């Protein structure tokens, strides 16, 4: 096996393959991305901008030119990735073949299934804004008769919205998902968002009007109590309790500084979710 280490230069400007919420800065990182995300790759990966980036940022002119030619000729995704893997030489022949096999096998997936998988992967990585936009584009192109897949996409939209604290809107998507797929998980998530979006009185009134939800709601309340106890003993819970003690001890300046620091951290984390 031929191994090449540190081929080319480390880029000052990162490249984001397939708009997956991950930036790579070297050929090594790019090849690792390909291996880890082979199941999600589609023709969009063969953008000429990748060859341009490798040539300019990583100083890999030969590879960049070869990939740009391949893009223009519209070679298969397997052939395109094969060029990249062979030039890099980071993995064994067996692993390269495994990666190419995954690409070929998943070429049998419909474009709708592949795009949903991309959205799901973005959710797992915590990029809820990007995932939501991926799901929204997919819903626009999805045929009306693909009701089950549409319901699964609605569920994904609900997850993204709930993670970004849009509980009321998230609940609407979870209910749509349950209506189309009949999956109890979507119904439970619908109840969760109702509970989080409503005041105590509003939620009680909701249960009066939806007696079928009462049993599931009781289980949910018990689970919420458990979560509350766990949160109090978590790092975040203890941190906020410590901040509150500063206020109780009338150390107002310290309380305000710690509170601003925590709010800043949460604000940055939220921006990362929606970007």
Per residue in 152-187, pLDDT tens?
Answer: 999 999 999 999 999 999 999 999 999 999 999 999
Half-sphere exposure of 225 (CA within 13 A, CB side): 5
24 shares a domain with 102: yes
Query: Is 85 part of a structural domain of the chain?
Result: yes
With cut-offs at 50, 70 and 90, classify the pLDDT of residue 270: very low
Task: Please give the Cα distance from 98 to 95 (Å, whole number).
Answer: 5
Percent of the chain clearing pLDDT 70 (strictly above): 80
The SS3 call for residue 47 is coil
102 shares a domain with 120: no
pLDDT of 266 strictly over 60: no
Query: Is 189 part of a structural domain of the chain?
Result: yes
Query: Is 60 part of a structural domain of the chain?
Result: yes
* Closest among 112, 164, 110 to 138, alpha carbons compared: 112
User: Looking at the 3D structure of the chain, how many domains does it have?
Assistant: 3
Q: Which pLDDT score is estimated for 213?
A: 82
* Closest among 94, 96, 81 to 42, alpha carbons compared: 81
Q: Which pLDDT score is estimated for 3?
A: 46
Q: Which pLDDT score is estimated for 63?
A: 96
* Buried/exposed code over 99-110 (b: 16+ C-beta within 10 A; e: otherwise): bbebbeebeeee
Task: Please give the Cα distance from 213 to 209 (Å, whole number).
Answer: 9
117 shares a domain with 46: no
Task: Please give the Cα distance from 139 to 130 (Å, whole number).
Answer: 14
115 shares a domain with 100: no
Q: What pLDDT, in 10s, does the model give residues 209-250? A: 888 887 778 777 776 677 667 756 676 656 666 667 666 666
76 shares a domain with 48: yes
Task: Please give the Cα distance from 41 to 52 (Å, whole number).
Answer: 19
pLDDT of 255 strictly over 80: no
With cut-offs at 50, 70 and 90, classify the pLDDT of residue 103: very high
Residue 62 near residue 85, CB atoms below 8 Å: no
- 117: domain CATH number? 1.25.40.10
Q: Give the residue from 149, 172, 197 where a domain finishes.
A: 197
* Least confident among 58-62, 98-102, 210-214, 248-252: 248-252
Structural domain range at position 78: 17-106
The SS3 call for residue 37 is coil
102 shares a domain with 117: no
Query: Is 174 part of a structural domain of the chain?
Result: yes
142 shares a domain with 91: no
Q: What is the DSSP letter of 211?
A: G
Query: Is 24 part of a structural domain of the chain?
Result: yes
Query: Is 3 part of a structural domain of the chain?
Result: no
24 shares a domain with 72: yes
33 shares a domain with 88: yes
* Least confident among 11-15, 163-167, 254-258: 254-258
Backbone angles phi, psi at 15, to 5 degrees: -120, 135
Q: Give the residue from 71, 106, 141 where a domain finishes.
A: 106
134 shares a domain with 100: no
128 shares a domain with 99: no
Instruction: Report how far apart, in Å, the C-alpha atoms of 89 and of each of 20, 86, 93, 95, 178 are.
Output: 24, 5, 9, 11, 47
Query: Is 229 part of a structural domain of the chain?
Result: no
Query: Is 209 part of a structural domain of the chain?
Result: no
The whole-model pTM stands at 0.65
Q: With DSSP H G I counted as helix, E B as strand and the rest as coil, what are the percentages for the chain, rounded to 5?
A: 75, 0, 25
């Amino acid at each position: 096996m031929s191994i090449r280490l540190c081929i080319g230069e480390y880029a000052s400007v990162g490249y984001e393959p397939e708009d997956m919420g991950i930036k790579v800065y070297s050929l090594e990182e790019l090849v690792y991305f390909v291996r880890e995300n082979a199941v999600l790759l589609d023709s969009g990966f063969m953008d000429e901008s990748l060859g341009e980036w490798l040539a300019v940022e990583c100083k890999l002119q030969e590879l960049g030119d070869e990939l740009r030619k391949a893009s223009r000729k519209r070679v298969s995704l397997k052939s395109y990735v094969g060029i990249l893997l062979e030039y890099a030489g980071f993995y064994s022949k067996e692993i390269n073949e495994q990666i190419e096999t995954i690409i070929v096998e998943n070429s049998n997936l419909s474009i709708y299934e592949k795009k949903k998988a991309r959205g799901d992967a973005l959710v797992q990585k915590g990029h809820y804004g990007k995932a939501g936009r991926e799901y929204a584009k997919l819903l626009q192109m999805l045929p009306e008769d693909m009701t089950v897949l549409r319901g699964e996409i609605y569920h994904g939209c609900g997850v993204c919205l709930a993670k970004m604290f849009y509980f009321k809107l998230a609940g609407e998507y979870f209910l749509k998902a349950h209506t189309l797929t009949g999956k109890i998980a979507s119904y439970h998530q619908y109840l969760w968002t109702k509970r989080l979006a409503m005041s105590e009185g509003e939620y009680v009134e909701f249960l009066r009007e939806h007696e079928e939800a009462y049993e599931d709601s009781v289980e949910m309340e018990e689970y919420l109590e458990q979560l509350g106890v766990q949160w109090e003993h978590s790092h975040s819970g203890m941190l906020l309790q410590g901040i509150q003690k500063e206020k109780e001890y009338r150390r107002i300046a310290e309380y305000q500084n710690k509170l601003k620091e925590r709010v800043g951290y949460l604000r940055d984390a939220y921006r990362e979710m929606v970007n």
